[in-house]
Chains A and B, each alone.
Chain A
């Protein structure tokens, strides 16, 4: 019964969040395009499916994965777990290897379950007539997010400026866009915004905040941020690198044949 009430509340909230978009679509469809939707029944059914899907999805995450993820992030950054006897040692970054590893693994895993990335990967595979593989793309993105979270937790532990990391990532992406195959640039720049969505953001934010709370001399308000921005930038780099690698390999193969 309690679950049902929770479910209903979550459903209504999801409905309220998408309301503005529904209004925009209906307004433009009826008043500007002035044609009925091609398949009204099917579209309505699909929209209900999406609402039900998102509600179930969020509810499931709230029941199972978010509490567990938060708990684990806390447990991994306690002094007892890290074997620290003396508080003065807490800023030594080498003590936190398990945190980096956990960050990398959970970042990659949540990326693979991200519905919006799934949607974009399917679309990319469809319009490229399968020359872009959906799973290949998702794994490349997951790898990028994994490196991003490991780097981001390292940044929180060492307390270095976020700005430098972001600028370095910008510089790498700018150089890559000059050399990478033109076909992939749009997609690669898009995936960064796509992966930071429903699943990844809450878990990664929880990790950053609990780490910044546990560490001495870190302010959760200031240092807890930044994981998301790295998780947005590094997948661009990894997808561009994947595209470059694929192009380079196929060139090499062609050279060998002739």
Chain B
């Protein structure tokens, strides 16, 4: 049974992945803070769950997310329609960000700050409207980011021009944006990159670079996530300046 052997190998790997956190937590709790571990049974159960979770995730990754991303990239490349490819890229980015719990949390926090600072009326209705608009803005930004990233792979522009350009825009925008929003804007870049999106988008980029002639998958296949973490920052700052 090769799959059972594979499963056990993955379990062992997952234990090694979790080990550093356990060591840090135990060393600091016992030696530095010098307090007992509050709930040993929960800690053991939780660690078992994390190891199992990582194992199932890695198993599923090889079975589904990587192959789906690459086979769809191949299919679009063979179809030769840039329009459908870009539409797919936008939907993928938008869809992955719009339901993301950490984005919902960040948008809510931003609305609270804006309410407390009297940018908007400090009531529930105005705040939830603000949070929803912000969420849709970021999701659209992530969608646009994947579109630009895919277009870059198709045409073959060098990545670092875009990144340096994006950095310059942020540098110029940041002094004009309200101070309350700057911290959130910088942090919002991390929200779109979830555990499901990252493998899917990475496989899409590499699959595209593989199926287009003259593209090297290492040099050109990466870079989609880089856009997805830069564009939301720009959009949230613009949003802060406009409202």
Q: List A residues at the B interface (Cβ < 8 Å).
A: 3, 13, 16-21, 23-25, 27-29, 32-33, 35, 37-39, 42-65, 67-69, 71-72, 75-76, 81, 98, 102, 105-106, 108-110, 112-113, 115-116, 118-120, 123-124, 127-128, 132, 162-163, 166-167, 170, 173-174, 177-178, 182-183, 185-187, 189-190, 192-194, 196-199, 201, 221-229, 231-232
Interface size class of B (residues with CB under 8 A): 35 or more
A-B contact pairs, 9 of them (CB 8 A): A53-B55, A64-B44, A71-B38, A115-B58, A127-B206, A167-B174, A186-B221, A186-B223, A225-B184
Complex CA–CA separation, A67 to B67 (angstroms): 36
Across the interface, A187 reaches (CB within 8 A) one of B95, B174, B222, namely B222
Nearest B residue (CB) for A191: B225
Given A19-B99, A115-B54, A72 contacting B195 (CB threshold 8 A): no
Q: How far is the CB of B24 from chain A (nearest CB, A)?
A: 4
| Residue B132 at the chain A interface, CB threshold 8 Å | no
Judge whether B202 and A61 touch: CB under 8 Å.
Answer: no
Q: How far is the CB of A140 from chain B (nearest CB, A)?
A: 15
In the assembled complex, which residues on chain B have CB atoms less than 8 Å from the CB atom of A68?
25, 29, 37-38, 43
| Residue B150 at the chain A interface, CB threshold 8 Å | no
Nearest A residue (CB) for B48: A60
Given A45-B63, A54-B57, A189-B159, A25 contacting B219 (CB threshold 8 A): no
Classify the secondary structure of B's interface with A. helix
Residue from the set B92, B163, B220 with the largest chain A CB neighbour count within 10 Å: B163
Given A46-B62, A225-B186, A109 contacting B23 (CB threshold 8 A): yes
Judge whether B99 and A221 touch: CB under 8 Å.
Answer: no
Judge whether A28 and B88 touch: CB under 8 Å.
Answer: yes
| Residue B119 at the chain A interface, CB threshold 8 Å | no
| Residue B65 at the chain A interface, CB threshold 8 Å | yes
In the assembled complex, which residues on chain A have CB atoms less than 8 Å from the CB atom of B192?
193
Judge whether B159 and A56 touch: CB under 8 Å.
Answer: no
Complex CA–CA separation, A185 to B152 (angstroms): 14
Judge whether B229 and A193 touch: CB under 8 Å.
Answer: yes
Judge whether A53 and B20 touch: CB under 8 Å.
Answer: no
| Residue B241 at the chain A interface, CB threshold 8 Å | no
Judge whether A46 and B25 touch: CB under 8 Å.
Answer: no
Complex CA–CA separation, A61 to B50 (angstroms): 7
Nearest B residue (CB) for A112: B20
Within 8 A of A (CB), among B101-153: 101-102, 109, 112-113, 116
Complex CA–CA separation, A53 to B63 (angstroms): 13
Across the interface, A49 reaches (CB within 8 A) one of B57, B98, B174, B221, namely B57
Q: How far is the CB of A72 from chain B (nearest CB, A)?
A: 6
Nearest B residue (CB) for A63: B46
| Residue B79 at the chain A interface, CB threshold 8 Å | yes
Across the interface, B56 reaches (CB within 8 A) one of A32, A52, A64, A221, namely A52
Judge whether B163 and A177 touch: CB under 8 Å.
Answer: yes
Judge whether B222 and A162 touch: CB under 8 Å.
Answer: no
Chain B 31-66 against A: per-residue CB contact (8 Å), 1 yes, 0 no?
011010111001111111111111111111111111
Judge whether B190 and A196 touch: CB under 8 Å.
Answer: yes
Nearest A residue (CB) for B49: A60
Judge whether B195 and A197 touch: CB under 8 Å.
Answer: yes
Complex CA–CA separation, A31 to B73 (angstroms): 15
In the assembled complex, which residues on chain A have CB atoms less than 8 Å from the CB atom of B174?
163, 166-167
Judge whether B25 and A72 touch: CB under 8 Å.
Answer: yes
Complex CA–CA separation, A190 to B153 (angstroms): 14
Q: How far is the CB of A141 from chain B (nearest CB, A)?
A: 13
| Residue B154 at the chain A interface, CB threshold 8 Å | no
In the assembled complex, which residues on chain A have CB atoms less than 8 Å from the CB atom of B54?
53, 57, 113, 115, 118
Nearest B residue (CB) for A116: B198
